[in-house]
Amino acid sequence: MLRESGRGVLCGPTRAYASTKLQSERRETLALAKKLHSMLGRPLRVCDPFCGVGPALATLLGEPDLVGKALASDLNPDAVEMLFDNLRRWDGRDYPSGPISLSQIHPDRLVGVADATSLPSDPQISGNWDLLLVNLPHRSIELLPSLVPLLDTRSPSLIRGRVIVAESEIAAANTAIRSALPNRLEGAPEPVLRIKRDYSSTLRLCSFEAWLAPTP
């Protein structure tokens, strides 16, 4: 049991790992989410399709009235089983005792096992989210174009992602991220990778955020 933003996060190193080293990263995500919340003037619809056991959600759900609807899915059934246990405590509501396919557990909670790449093809899911978390660092840039349709284009939206990349390739990665995104929000900074820590002797763990403008 880890502690994340004052909440217990159940995880299992051999089944579904969660890192306490990323708490500062998740606090940054919280600050960005608050900014988006202020911009929209309503609770956020958060999509976390690589959620693991839910540490990012622990931080966001801990902020009163910040999150309205949430989609939390992962391809690992063990992670989803522990996510249900965590959500049961965080939300104070019933959740399944074992992993199930992505399901509408509560009117504001869509949770379960799912392949993130299949979500944009579901008309009930696509185009319905304000904040998209892309936490699959080795493949985030590759998957970004297929995940963007999850966002609601009627209002400003935000993508928060993590990427593992060679330091020498960061400039090229920045170009790839920008090429994958539709119109950015006027006045917002261009998405750029920021090194957070070493992943290996040559690779760096980076994060980025991208503010997207509504489609006219």
pLDDT for residue 19 = 67
**Distance, CA of 55 to CA of 208 (rounded, Å):** 18
Per the DSSP assignment, residues forming a β-bridge with 112 are: 73
Instruction: Provide the number of structural domains found in the chain.
Output: 1
What's the pLDDT tens digit per position in 101-141?
999 999 999 999 999 999 999 999 999 999 999 999 999 99
* Range list of H helices, the chain: 23-40, 55-61, 77-91, 140-147, 170-180
pLDDT confidence of residue 22:
72
Flag whether pLDDT at 53 surpasses 70: yes
Which residues constitute the domain of residue 8?
A: 2-212
What is the per-residue pLDDT for 5?
A: 67
22-47 per-position pLDDT tens digit = 778 889 999 999 999 999 999 999 99
Q: What's the CA gap between 60 and 71, in Å, rounded?
A: 13
Average pLDDT of span 152-174: 96
Residue 27 identity (one-letter amino acid): R
- Decide: 158 and 66 in contact? Cβ < 8 Å: no
Structure confidence by residue, pLDDT tens digits, 80-105: 999 999 999 999 999 999 999 999 99
Residue 34: its H or E element: helix 23-40
User: Which pLDDT value is given to residue 151?
Assistant: 97
pLDDT given for residue 133 in this prediction: 98
Name residue 62's amino acid: G
| CA–CA dist 122, 139 (Å, integer) | 21
CA dihedral (138, 186, 44, 90) positive or negative: positive
Which H helix or E strand runs over 36?
A: helix 23-40
CATH of the domain at 165: 3.40.50.150
Mean pLDDT of 177-191: 93
**What is the model's pTM?**
0.93
Mean pLDDT confidence for 2-6 = 73
Q: Kindly tell me if the per-residue pLDDT of 149 is higher than 70.
A: yes
Angle subtended by helix axes 140-147 and 170-180, to nearest 10: 10
Q: Could you count the other beta carbons within 10 Å of the beta carbon of residue 14?
A: 6
